[in-house]
Amino acid sequence: MTTAATWWQSGPRHPLQVVMDSLAARSGAAFEVELPDGRRLRSGTGTPAFAIVFHTDAALVATMTRGHMGLLEAWFDQTMDVRGELRAVFAAGLAAGFDLQTRPWNGLENDLHEWRHSNASPARAKANARAHYGLGTAFYRRWLDDPLMMYTCGYWPEGTTSLEQAQRQKIDHVCRKLRLAPGERYVDVGCGFGGFMFRALETTGALGTGVNTTTEQVQWLQGEIERRGLQQQLAVREADFRDVDGPYDKLVSIGVLEHAGRDQLAEVIRAHAAFLKPGGLGVLHFIGHVGRFETELFIRKHVFPGGWIPSLADVIVEMERCGLEVVDIENLRRHYALTLDVWAERFERGWPQIRALDPVRFDERFHRVWRAYLIGCAEMFRSPAGYTHLFQIVFCKGRINMADYPMGRGFLYG
């Protein structure tokens, strides 16, 4: 009788070799696989860029049946290891389209995840947000920029030399797009640790109110506003993004739309519109697809429960339905790759201190999941085969008048 173990060892040519050769041909990468019995398989021309080392037959079966999800979860479980740069593994897999190979059970699992973790309920949306953003200020401080702790794409024009500079430049870039002025009231939807509000107050004098559903971030930010004596200029409200107050002169939404969920895009866009006065300006900064694609199961299952990456086209349609006129669209995809590169390097360098915060929560599995997330997303934004981007949309509630906004884009860079 053929068992899983003997099946892998049967025949003159290992069944995994066929898959490897196809991946090597499509990616142009040479690599090696070491099997649990010690045999080594090689594909591609030249020196292998990395090696995949399987420790169990179960890890092999998972990879052959579930593709990249089986491979990733074997690595998380430490039944597979990588020799060489993890970055090279992701670059090769993305170039070969390994993440796009349809596996019926991966699709079914994605549907099951949506059923269990949909953001349709504010309570479920809050739990989903806290699962990721509620890991604590001490955790995020180890690898985000200091002191603003912006957990979104930086802005890296030529000459930028640090993450801190990139994040300040991102905030200033958005403030210029919004034409923020002293005394104007704006809402920061999904304000995180308040970095945008602190920087915008310093540089423009505008008055900000943050809306955030993550209890841990709200409590920290409330304390920080009070510590700085800024209660008359800044405030934060613990609420779902659909819980509208206002109206405000301006709106900034940075990294929120990805958390609307698969079926809540229209609802969240309507809320963004409702936050604004007629004629008010907003900036919508979000990860988006060009084309309609399923959101990566790995990200939804292991990193952002309930998250969903919308298509740019669907976002624009919903904005138009809500009476929002698109004024400008900028694609910062390349900037996100650079931001993630620095996050991944700082995360790895700070891992001993992160682990010491809570060795039970921040264990080796967590370490591997987050390395895969940070490095994998950097390569996703960098890959020529990718379809995921980072958009900033400037919009107006109603049709913008010729005198209300500059006719050219020079004011952004002067």
**Distance from C-alpha of 228 to C-alpha of 225, rounded to nearest angstrom:** 5
Determine the residue type at 323: G
Hey, what are 229's tokens?
């004596």
Task: Give the ranges where 186-332 is alpha helix by DSSP (H).
Answer: 195-204, 215-227, 265-275, 297-302, 312-321
Name the DSSP letter for residue 83: E
Amino acid sitting at position 152: T
CA distances from 138 to 154, 195, 304, 374 (A): 21, 15, 20, 18
The answer to whether the bond into 147 is cis (omega within 30° of 0) is yes
Residue type, 186: Y
- Tell me how far apart the alpha carbons of residues 239 and 225 are, in angstroms, rounded to a whole number: 18
Q: Is 191 noted as a catalytic residue in this protein? A: no
Instruction: Look at residue 366 and give its three-state secondary structure.
Output: helix
Neighbours of 137 (CB within 10 A): 17
Residues 176 and 240: beta-carbon distance below 8 Å: no
Per annotation, catalytic residue among 153, 175, 191, 377: 377
The residues, any chain, with a CB within 8 Å of residue 192's CB and separated by 6 or more, are 133, 149, 150, 151, 152, 212, 217, 254, 255
CB atoms within 10 A of CB 356: 9
Do residues 134 and 193 lie in contact, with contact meaning Cβ atoms separated by under 8 Å? no
Distance, CA of 176 to CA of 181 (rounded, Å): 9
CA 403 to chain centre: 36
3-state secondary structure of 239: coil
Tokens encoding 363: 């264990």
Active-site residues, by number, are: 377
